[in-house]
Amino acid sequence: MTDRSTPSAAHPPELGVVKLLIAKPEFGPLVLLVLMIVVFTAINPAFASITNIGNALTFTVELGLIALAMTLLMTAGEFDLSVGSVFGFAPVMMWAFFNGGVLSLPLSFIVALLIALAIGLVSGLFVTRLGIPSFLVTLGMLLVVRGSALWLTSGFPQRTWDAHDQWLSNVLVGDFYIGGLRVYMSLIWFILLAVICHYLLTRTRFGNWIQATGGNPGAARNRGVPTQRVKVILFMVSAAMAAFAGIISSIRVSAANPNSGTGYELEVIAMVVIGGTVLTGGRGTIVGTVLGVLILRLMRNGIVLIGVPGLAYNIFIGAIILGMMALHAGLERRHNTGT
């Protein structure tokens, strides 16, 4: 009689679970994050202090908000190079309206977000209706938006401190303490929006549309997916999130600088790609993006604490991007071949 239990004994169910875990795009970033924390803490225990963690999380939020929207857009097969410019432009407009007495603070906030939505709408229509690659469209929009911010302000920052006693400041960047850890409201906003984006991408029909649009647009259109509308909406969301992040930053630093956000677009794309979202579209992960955001922001903080010159930051980021791309490619290849 043949022992039917032999195959299952040779391949226990636990190994199957491990293989599925390793195949997930979030696995690599999670391992890297844990390894990075262990190494930095071993070299300088101050890295794991409550104060340092609180400070690092404060700066994580602003780029993280942009990265969440960029994940959705890249999953749909597009990306937005203008987010850094919108990050600087939106708060400039908001505080110009408010400090000039044109609008109240809440209306200035709403108008700034509406302007950002209009920027995203124009980018989306250029990409979908005219068939121009998003790289070229958003590169042009980057220059237009940044140039507008500099021209309108003559290159000078806008004041924000006149509004520090306003309720909007407390809602966006107010703080409170949890066991000695100072937590800003901006971090709560980031967590809330991350949960919403994760649910949207993984549990809704619109999320399925996003993945189908990036994975196989022709097949998606044949199945009735409004691929052009999906992309336009995501460009608008991307611009609005960049504006929201910029406004939070302007309140935190008490200035709306028209040069704010310069270079953010590439760093955000790096965060998303490191997290496991495919650059060519079709597969994205909000959880992975959150890990990617933490990796890059804690990396910047950690290399300073261990005595590495801050100017070497880009070297580390480039190495991480190359390493994670190789890891993602290797894991996906093993998953597809079943080895």
- Average pLDDT of the residues in 2-12: 50
User: Higher model confidence: residue 86 or residue 10?
Assistant: 86
CB contact at 8 A, 76 and 213: yes
The full DSSP string for 82-113 is THHHHHHHHHHHHHHHHHTTSS-HHHHHHHHH
Indicate whether 291 pLDDT > 70.
Answer: yes
**172, 183, 188, 194: which is closest to 272 by C-alpha?**
194
- Provide the pLDDT for residue 180: 65
Using CA atoms, how far residue 188 sits from 58, 105, 180, 273, in Å, is 10, 22, 17, 24
Residue 247 resides in a domain: yes
Round to whole Å and give the CA distance between 30 and 325: 14
Q: Please name the helix (run of DSSP H) or strand (run of DSSP E) that holds residue 256, with its range, or none.
A: strand 255-256
Mind listing the pLDDT tens digit for each residue in 129-138? 999 999 999 9
Question: Could you give the percent of the chain with pLDDT greater than 70?
Answer: 87
Residue 339 resides in a domain: no
Q: Please name the helix (run of DSSP H) or strand (run of DSSP E) that holds residue 303, with its range, or none.
A: helix 286-305
Mind listing the pLDDT tens digit for each residue in 141-154? 999 999 999 998 88
Indicate whether 338 pLDDT > 60.
Answer: no
Indicate whether 15 pLDDT > 50.
Answer: yes
CB contact at 8 A, 244 and 169: no
Q: What's the pLDDT band for 335 if we cut at 50, 70, 90?
A: low
With 0.85 as the threshold, say if the pTM is over it: yes
Residue 117 resides in a domain: yes
Indicate whether 5 pLDDT > 50.
Answer: no
Query: What crossing angle do the helices spanning 105-129 and 83-99 adopt, rounded to 10°?
Result: 150
Indicate whether 128 pLDDT > 90.
Answer: yes
**209, 237, 233, 241: which is closest to 223 by C-alpha?**
209
- Provide the pLDDT for residue 319: 82
CB contact at 8 A, 47 and 301: yes
Residue 335 resides in a domain: no
CATH number at residue 288: 1.10.3470
Residue 25 resides in a domain: no
Residue 59 class from Cβ within 10 Å (0-12 exposed, 13-18 middle, 19+ buried)?
Answer: middle
Residue 307 resides in a domain: yes
Residue 266 neighbours by CB under 8 Å, 6+ apart: none
Q: What's the pLDDT band for 159 if we cut at 50, 70, 90?
A: confident
Residue 15 resides in a domain: no
- Average pLDDT of the residues in 42-54: 83
| DSSP state letter for 282 | S
Indicate whether 71 pLDDT > 90.
Answer: yes
Domain coverage including residue 183: 30-330
Tokens 């070297």 sit on residue: 315
Question: Could you give the percent of the chain with pLDDT greater than 90?
Answer: 45
- Provide the pLDDT for residue 185: 85
Indicate whether 245 pLDDT > 90.
Answer: yes
The full DSSP string for 152-211 is HHTTPPEE-GGGTTSHHHHHHH-EEEETTEEEEHHHHHHHHHHHHHHHHHHHSHHHHHHH
Q: What's the pLDDT band for 339 if we cut at 50, 70, 90?
A: low
Residue 111 neighbours by CB under 8 Å, 6+ apart: 93, 94, 97, 103
CB contact at 8 A, 303 and 316: yes
Residue 16 resides in a domain: no
Write the single-letter amino acid at 218. G
| DSSP state letter for 213 | H
The structural domain count of the chain equals: 1
- Provide the pLDDT for residue 309: 75
